[in-house]
Amino acid sequence: MYKIVKKKELAPQICLMEVEAPRVAQAAMPGQFLIVRADEKGERIPLTVCDYDREKGTVTIVTQVVGASSRKICHLEEGDELMDVAGPLGQPSEFVNEREEELRGKRFLFIAGGLGIAPVYPQVKYLHARGARVEVIAGAKTAGMLIMEKEMEAVCDGLHICTDDGSKGEKGLVTGVLDRLMGEGRVYDRAVAIGPMIMMKFVTLTAKKYDLPLIVSLNTLMVDGTGMCGACRVSVGGKTMFACVDGPEFNAYEVDFDEAMRRQGMYKDQEVESDHKCRIGLGR
């Protein structure tokens, strides 16, 4: 059992939990994910690592209520316990293999849409601690759906906020902010985009105009997290990959986004019928 030591509501139907999981915390790296189960009858839900504290032995997850199982998790309170927290799973972000002296002074740009801010946070925190310069574009539908703003400001060199309705930051999409930054002559060694599949597709098309190296995370495709179900198959560079074991991060320019979006919608009707939409998606 894994005790919830902290719970915080980030936005309506979105909660953050810090969970005691010492062995997971010791091994977790940016870019990886966990499999979480509320109780013995609960579904296995893939959740990206939002943070980890090796000294305290805790990991942090962010969950959005979109179905029965995610609702069950979010109804738990501080002091309650999760049945399972398994991981870390998946491949860590590629920059963790670079030496600190290699990262120091490099410029990174992260583009986060919606709940994508949660898996972006540990990556930005990791790079900032090693002397890299990191800017973040954070997009949300409205100001009320924007999460972890203060936490992100504390670990980055520039936070650019945009909302669909203009209620916070610039009005518009993350692609518009990306165009603006690149048009101002900003130079980045690498960019990372995490969020809805359609957002990542158009970020990729935008970044391509500037020859900007770009990584995307396909964690929204994952279901069982082991590669056995086959639900997260995706074509990358003309080869079949599994987001949960080969990724979840890939070179954006090699991903077949149209195929990935078709696969993402494949089980939508069944999920609605069973009230288990929580199986597929970031932070579900």
Note the pLDDT of residue 267.
54
pLDDT at 104: 94
Query: What are the Cα distances from residue 70, in Å, to 3, 73, 146, 164?
Result: 17, 5, 19, 26
Question: Each residue of 174-228: pLDDT tens digit?
Answer: 999 999 999 999 999 999 999 999 999 999 999 999 999 999 999 888 877 777 7
Model confidence at 284: pLDDT above 70: no
Separation CA 127–CA 110 (nearest Å): 11
Mean pLDDT, all residues of the chain: 90
Instruction: Provide the pLDDT for residue 268.
Output: 56
The answer to whether 81 and 3 have CB atoms below 8 angstroms apart is yes
Domains and CATH numbers, the chain: 2-89 (2.40.30.10), 95-211 (3.40.50.80), 218-266 (no CATH)
Looking at per-residue pLDDT, the higher value among 153 and 282 belongs to 153
The model's pLDDT over 50-77, given as tens digits with 9 standing for 90+, comes to 999 999 999 999 998 887 888 899 999 9
pLDDT higher for 160 or 280?
A: 160
User: Can you give the pLDDT at residue 266?
Assistant: 62
pTM of the full structure: 0.90
Average pLDDT over residues 82-108: 94
Instruction: Indicate if the pLDDT at residue 10 is higher than 90.
Output: yes
Model confidence at 278: pLDDT above 80: no
How sure is the predictor about 45, in pLDDT bands with cuts at 50, 70 and 90? confident
